[in-house]
Structure 1
Amino acid sequence: MFKWVTQVLSGHGCFGKYLCRIEREPDARCHHCVHCGEDTAQHTLAECVAWEEQRRVLRNEVGSDLSLPAVVRKMVDSAESWDAVVSFCEDVMSQKETAEREREILLTSFPNRRRRTGRRRRADNALFRPP
């Protein structure tokens, strides 16, 4: 599904940095690995330990440079590279999307934890930001 490729290439979608920017998450951390900073498209593509197996398959096809510009160059160079990137994005992003949905359900399943909107939401989020 090209929706997930678009999300990886644009940085929009189930990435902590994007979700924090649009105020759907209180911070930009990655929920899939412990020792990381921001969850970005680049982090997901090249660094997150949760996707190491998928990344190994991707590297076999496109090489070790997993910067977004290098990946795009490889994608347009060959159909095999294109397919490898699409496969990586579909596998990883579908799992990230499922995990995001599960977090949303968990947050809304408790009445006092329901998602707030507007000023109350921003005030509540400010309470839970790390120091």
Structure 2
Amino acid sequence: MALYGAPVWAPNLMRRPARALLTSQRVMAIRVIRGYRTISGEAANLLAGLPPWDLEAKVLAHVFSLRADACRRGETPLSRQISAWRDELRRDLMAEWQQRLSQPRAGLAVIAAVSPLFEEWLERRHGVLTYRLTQVLTGHGSFGRFLFLIGREETPGCHHCEDRPEDTVEHTVAVCPAWAEYRQVLRDVVGDGDLSRPALVQAMVRSERDWDAVSSFCEAVMLAKEEAGRVREQTSSRPSRRERHSGRRGSRDDLRPP
């Protein structure tokens, strides 16, 4: 429904209406990837495999224009000709989308991990994103750094390490000793290379087996981190920084998918 009538309005789509269109798409894309509501539209669209709607609208408008031009010349374009136009314009769309992703405004880490494998990610025939897998890919979830930024933690430190280093995706996946057993199971499948986000994405697109291994690791580790976080919230009588500023008692669930 969002692109209904696109051949009419797309040629006149200005910056502000385009921004409103992409804002609506962001909400849908975040639902598709089961992500936190703080994830950027650019990152959510890429993970979901959804080209920006303003580019989709341009394709629809251009195909309509080509058909109209043919009709004015007294021609009736065949379906295969229309399909050829659409395929060519879709290739242009993908090229323009990739160009946009080369200069992202937000979601830099996940875009940097996925965009080098742009075609492989979009064309894969296996793998579904889950709530906890998306947390690891985006960094928006049960990580001290993220929870500190949104006011849910007093510090960005890792609660599972004695020296409390910053709890990031990289620390959780590759370093934190609390998850060594899960990490070894993952390495047994994907290999002993690095476990950076780009490396995880490479493994995920390589095969369904590797995707499932990464997903299982994320499910186990992030679930354990979530449960530990809930225990801390229940046993702490002190409100979070965000609650002290807002005056209301909330939870990190406020930012989770509806």
Task: Give the shorter-chain TM-score range.
Answer: 0.7 to 0.9
Gaps of 5+ in 2: 1-128, 249-258
2:225 is matched with: 96
Aligned match for 1:53, one of 164, 173, 181: 181
Aligned residues between the structures: 117
Matching residue of 2:118: none
Cα distance change of structure 1 residues 36 and 103 upon mapping to structure 2, 3 Å threshold: closer
Q: TM-score scaled by structure 2?
A: 0.43
Match of 1:71 in 2: 200
Distance 2:197 2:230 in 1: 26
Cα distance between partner residues in 1 of 2:244 and 2:183? 37
CA offset at residue 89 of structure 1?
Answer: 0.4
Q: How does 1:13-92 map to 2 (within 5 A)?
A: 13-64=141-192, 65-92=194-221
Tell me the SS of whatever aligns to 1:51: helix
Separation in structure 2 between the aligned mates of residue 25 and residue 36 of structure 1, nearest angstrom: 13
Q: 1:2 offset after TM fit, Å? A: 0.6
Code of the aligned partner of 1:56: Q
Structure 1 residue ranges, 4+ long, deviating more than 2 angstroms after superposition: 113-117
Higher relative contact order (CA 8 A, sep 6+): 1
Q: Which residue of structure 2 aligns with residue 126 of structure 1? A: none
Give 1:36 deviation, angstroms.
4.6
Report deviation, 1:119: 7.0
* TM-score relative to the length of structure 1: 0.83
How far residue 120 of structure 1 moved from its aligned partner, in angstroms, is 7.6
Q: Which runs of 5+ in 1 are unaligned?
A: 122-131
